[in-house]
Amino acid sequence: MHSPFVFKLLTECFYKKESKPGFKKVLAFREALLKDHRIISVTDFGAGSRVFKSERRKVSAIAKNAGISKKRALLLNKLTDYLKIRNALELGTSVGSSSAAIAAGNNVQLTTIEGCPETAKVAREYFKKFELDNIELVIGNFEEILDSGKWRVESGDLVESGDGRPKTEDRLESGDGSPKTEDRLESGDRRPKTEKKPTLKYQDQTSNYKQQTINHKLQTINPKPQTTNNFPLSSLHLPLSTTNPKPQTTNHKPRIPNLIYFDGNHQKEATLHYFEKLLPLAHNDSVFIFDDIHWSGEMEEAWEQIKAHPRVRVSIDTFYWGLVFFRKEQKKEHFTIRL
């Protein structure tokens, strides 16, 4: 074991015997699903099921065969707390057991995306029952949500602070909530330069963003912010008006996910596609978790390619999960750990 970061992760999280505030709710959520024998019609957009031969499935059977295990649910809950995850994105809600594991008892805002309306309906019902108000459920095809109409990855104005955490240039807030301007990065010859990092934005509200930023710097508009209380998918983007040139803020600071949990499509091509699609959101403290990396030969090939990506610095194979970290200060290493 050469990495102090991974050593601490093992000793202070994975192998540490402790009870977390969310454990009771995580277990109760899972037990409730296992006792729910309603039959629903499932639309599968992924690689299909090796267990189910029909679209008609019991909720209890979905929770047992397709949901997260008790051990991994508790581990995911503990990991979310240990890494101090504040914003998370999940691809593949199913009936909500993994979502509950991330959200229960943790100070995190989770956006989870599910393609099947029937399983999403069950998940929403249980989120409400167990008062998991920090979960936002979005229903639809992953590709459509991430790439067209509502969501897309595009160039923004996120730069990294000294500790590697993302912050938004020219949209930082002062103590009284008003915007303040961050000093520009400078090159050796004193010419200003700006480091650009991509972010996730709501598509129909970003067309005039760059022009607004330029205008703001020239002080040709009123820098006083306006607030809005009504916008979708609030935990992962900052809406900007395309009709009013004045910069606006919301009741929430701009956020991007610290954790992305991939559990919606166990096919090589789709896994690599979503990895590349969401990679621009990764920063120094991000973790991507891929479920069922040994589910098939194709998934193992996808995992090997993800591990080899130059931006991935630490990868951990726990057999069921593949975890990747992007810590720039660390040399590239891979670990195989059985939990």
Say yes or no: 196 and 235 in one domain: yes
* pLDDT value at residue 339: 85
Compute the distance between CA of residue 291 and CA of residue 84 in angstroms, rounded to an integer.
20
Report the chain's mean pLDDT, rounded to a whole number: 75
State if pTM tops 0.75: no
Compute the distance between CA of residue 136 and CA of residue 231 in angstroms, rounded to an integer.
12
* pLDDT value at residue 270: 92
Q: Beta 321-325 vs 287-291: how paired, if at all?
A: antiparallel
Question: Does residue 269 register a pLDDT over 90?
Answer: yes
Burial class (CB in 10 A: 0-12, 13-18, 19+), 14: middle
* pLDDT value at residue 256: 78
Say yes or no: 220 and 261 in one domain: no
Average pLDDT of span 233-253: 38
Q: Determine the 3-state secondary structure of 2 from DSSP.
A: coil
Say yes or no: 115 and 48 in one domain: yes
Which of 204, 225, 250 is the endpoint of a domain? 250
Say yes or no: 101 and 30 in one domain: yes
Which of 207, 231, 250 is the endpoint of a domain? 250
Say yes or no: 213 and 273 in one domain: no
Average pLDDT of span 210-220: 40
How many domains does one find in the chain?
A: 2
Which of 207, 222, 250 is the endpoint of a domain? 250
Compute the distance between CA of residue 209 and CA of residue 214 in angstroms, rounded to an integer.
9
Say yes or no: 29 and 124 in one domain: yes
Say yes or no: 131 and 47 in one domain: yes
Say yes or no: 311 and 277 in one domain: yes
Structural domain harbouring 244: 151-250
DSSP for 108-153 reads -EEEEEES-HHHHHHHHHHHHHTT-TTEEEEES-HHHHHHSTTEEE
Say yes or no: 15 and 123 in one domain: yes
φ and ψ at residue 259, rounded to 5 degrees: -125, 130
Burial class (CB in 10 A: 0-12, 13-18, 19+), 64: middle
Say yes or no: 162 and 139 in one domain: no
Say yes or no: 145 and 241 in one domain: no
Give residue 54's pLDDT band: very low, low, confident or very high (50, 70, 90). low
Question: Does residue 127 register a pLDDT over 70?
Answer: yes
